[in-house]
Structure 1
Amino acid sequence: MTDAIALFTDGADWHAARLARAIERRGVECRRVSLNACGFAVGRTATGLHLPGFGDALPLGAFVRVVGQGSFEQVTLRLGVLHALDRLGVPVYNGARAIERCVDKSTTSFLLAQAGIPTPPAVAVQTADAARAAVEEWPDCVLKPLFGAQGRGLRRLSRPDEVPEPEAMAGVYYLQPFVPPLREGAWRDCRVFVVGGVAVAAMIRHGRSWITNVHQGARCEPFRPDGVVADLAVRAAAVVGADYAGVDLIAAPERDSDSGWLVLEVNSMPAWQGLQTVSDTDIAGCLADDFLRRVGAAALVRPQ
């Protein structure tokens, strides 16, 4: 075991730079590693893993900022490395299980509904005919990539003949009925940032269109992270097993939710650059504090 932690990221990431500084200010060495460069080395290293910069040693902990795009096989291998680190007693933040549950939007929807957390209906099917049947039932619905982020690839459908061919959706159609704004043209939703079971920051995102992601040009407005919104976000993060998460909520149409809100998504590798511009909370500092508490707690029970 080394005295350093691994920060899994790719390239010159604003978030990784903030995290590394926050961790090192707390007296712990932080080594940035790309999961693209990691793998297994069974019989070749003492750990059975190939972790650049660590040789035969294990990190004190692993903070997952980015898994990275890749083929199904590449992503499976990277998640396998995270599973292996967990098995070897290394605290992984977020762990592979939470990432798997969040990356697959259909699994997130299922788990939220099973836990009684208000969330829109959803279907995930593998044929265009089944998707067309869903559009027949929901004549105003949103088609999302099953694995997607930052508002990329979203489509709003109103007719069955608008359903694309399977190749355009990687063979899976994930659909939800469109949640209309409370006032026409007032496109907005809420992002709550949860760290260690606490809602530490929040914002309202005002979209230029019905897609309200910051990367799609949304304007950020401060929002107090408390009350029912905070409670729903914390519960949603716990349901998927996330140490930290960006939880997206939207105001529910009348009678769709007793809480007045619906949880849309739980993001296990959330960005917070936009949120930081409207929040007084040092988000990277909150993440570093909670992560290092986990690392310290694991060290107390780890065999010496």
Structure 2
Amino acid sequence: MKVLVVNDIVGNRSRGLAAALQRRGCDTITAALSEIGFDTGSPSGLAIPGFDGGDLPEAVLVRSVAAGSFEAITRRLGVLHALRALGVPVWNSAQAIERCVDKSMTTFVLQLAGLPTPATFAVEGREAAEAVVAREAGPLVLKPLFGAQGRGIRLINGVEDLPAEEEINGVYYLQRYIKRAGPPFRDYRVFVCAGKVLAMMARRGDDWITNINRGATPEGLVSHDSELERLALAAAKAVGADFAGVDILPDADGRPFVLEVNSMPAWSGLQSVVEIDIADAIAEALLGFLDARAEKPAMPLPASAVS
């Protein structure tokens, strides 16, 4: 069985994932989406490194999609759409990645699913953003529409705190600030895979932005919180993610809010405080999914198709 791991930078976690698949008898090939081309001369219509004669992988696992121009990202996601159209299971699908990368769509989908998420406003132009700030009359959090690991986040207390349009490509993604206990501040990262919670941790920091790369400390939890599990599973299902890191923040009264769903999550911080081997668990879940898919009986053709 050949499994394609899509990744732009091969680090320890990616190597661990490839090793876990190989221990289970898989031939694992790693390639960046930028290296996969559309090729109408190929039987499959794609040219994939490590796959000759139009061969396709039995499954694709997406670890990362590199930044690039709008055209480049559109083409790369198009490759994932094409693989799915060819019947190749893709974890996570292009649709799930699109829903998670675009924070405005993430919060829309979460709200549509009835999940608690902070009041959110995504508008174009400073005038529209100023109207939101004036109407809310309270602190808001400005985040890059496309961004991760806490980069570019700032607190907006008034219109004077809004950046110029050119700094954020004209799009203002504003989320109501959730008041919470602290410092130290805490939130939670819950790792979901194939409809199950694999692991979770608290992130503690003196800064209200509690990302690990911003200096927050990961903390293991003695036992899993059933409400965090419920919310994380529902959030991953809402965006259609096969595996995801779900960020949940409790307010000062302990009420949880789902902030984000990461369809290409890192897990270095989480792995440092949990016993389960996350890469191994993902590999096990993927192959379990493929086995179940292979055993599922084919749907019979309708009578009109065989008459």
**Taking structure 2 as the reference length, what is the TM-score of the superposition?**
0.92
Q: Of the candidates 9, 18, 25, which is equivalent to residue 20 of structure 1?
A: 18
Question: Map of 1:70-149 to 2, 5 A cutoff?
Answer: 70-136=68-134, 137-149=136-148
- Looking at structure 1, the residues matched to 10 and 26 of structure 2 have their Cα atoms a distance apart, in angstroms, of 20
Corresponding residue of 2:244: 245
Corresponding residue of 1:216: 214
Q: Residues 77 and 301 (structure 1 numbering): CA distance in 2 closer, same or farther, change over 3 Å?
A: farther
Question: Map of 1:48-63 to 2, 5 A cutoff?
Answer: 48-55=45-52, 56-63=54-61
SS state at 2:179 partner: coil
Contact preservation (8 Å) 2:183, 2:205: no
1:202-235 CA-partner distances (Å, limit 9, x unpaired)? 0000123111111111101112334101010000
- Looking at structure 2, the residues matched to 208 and 181 of structure 1 have their Cα atoms a distance apart, in angstroms, of 12
Corresponding residue of 1:45: 42
**Taking structure 1 as the reference length, what is the TM-score of the superposition?**
0.93
Contact preservation (8 Å) 1:41, 1:50: yes
Contact preservation (8 Å) 1:192, 1:225: no
1:63-86 CA-partner distances (Å, limit 9, x unpaired)? 000111111111111110001100
Q: Residues 138 and 71 (structure 1 numbering): CA distance in 2 closer, same or farther, change over 3 Å?
A: farther
- Looking at structure 2, the residues matched to 82 and 128 of structure 1 have their Cα atoms a distance apart, in angstroms, of 35
Question: Map of 1:189-204 to 2, 5 A cutoff?
Answer: 189-204=187-202
Letter in 2 for 1:91: P
Is 1:33 equivalent to 2:19 in the alignment? no
Letter in 2 for 1:195: C
Contact preservation (8 Å) 2:80, 2:90: yes
1:63-115 CA-partner distances (Å, limit 9, x unpaired)? 00011111111111111000110010100000111000000111111111111
Once the two structures are TM-superposed, the CA of residue 300 in structure 1 deviates from its matched residue by 4.4
Corresponding residue of 2:305: none
Is 1:297 equivalent to 2:292 in the alignment? yes
1:130-173 CA-partner distances (Å, limit 9, x unpaired)? 11122221431110000100111111111102211222112211
Letter in 2 for 1:170: N
Letter in 2 for 1:176: Q
Letter in 2 for 1:122: T
- Looking at structure 2, the residues matched to 301 and 245 of structure 1 have their Cα atoms a distance apart, in angstroms, of 25
Once the two structures are TM-superposed, the CA of residue 302 in structure 1 deviates from its matched residue by 9.8
Letter in 1 for 2:5: L
SS state at 1:113 partner: helix
Contact preservation (8 Å) 1:115, 1:239: yes
Residues paired across the two proteins, number:
295
Q: Of the candidates 263, 275, 297, which is equivalent to residue 270 of structure 2?
A: 275
Corresponding residue of 1:235: 234
Is 1:285 equivalent to 2:280 in the alignment? yes
Contact preservation (8 Å) 2:122, 2:171: yes
- Looking at structure 2, the residues matched to 225 and 238 of structure 1 have their Cα atoms a distance apart, in angstroms, of 19
Q: Residues 229 and 68 (structure 1 numbering): CA distance in 2 closer, same or farther, change over 3 Å?
A: same
Letter in 2 for 1:272: W
SS state at 1:83 partner: helix
Letter in 2 for 1:81: V
Question: Map of 1:136-175 to 2, 5 A cutoff?
Answer: 136=134, 137-175=136-174
Q: CA RMSD for the aligned pairs?
A: 1.5
Give the greater-gyration-radius structure (CA). Answer: 2
- Looking at structure 2, the residues matched to 248 and 272 of structure 1 have their Cα atoms a distance apart, in angstroms, of 13
Once the two structures are TM-superposed, the CA of residue 245 in structure 1 deviates from its matched residue by 0.4
Q: List alignment gaps of at least 5 residues for structure 1.
A: none
SS state at 2:79 partner: helix
Q: Which portions of structure 1, spanning 4 or more consecutive aligned residues, are displaced by more than 3 angstroms? A: 297-303
Q: Of the candidates 261, 268, 272, which is equivalent to residue 266 of structure 1?
A: 261
Contact preservation (8 Å) 1:200, 1:225: no
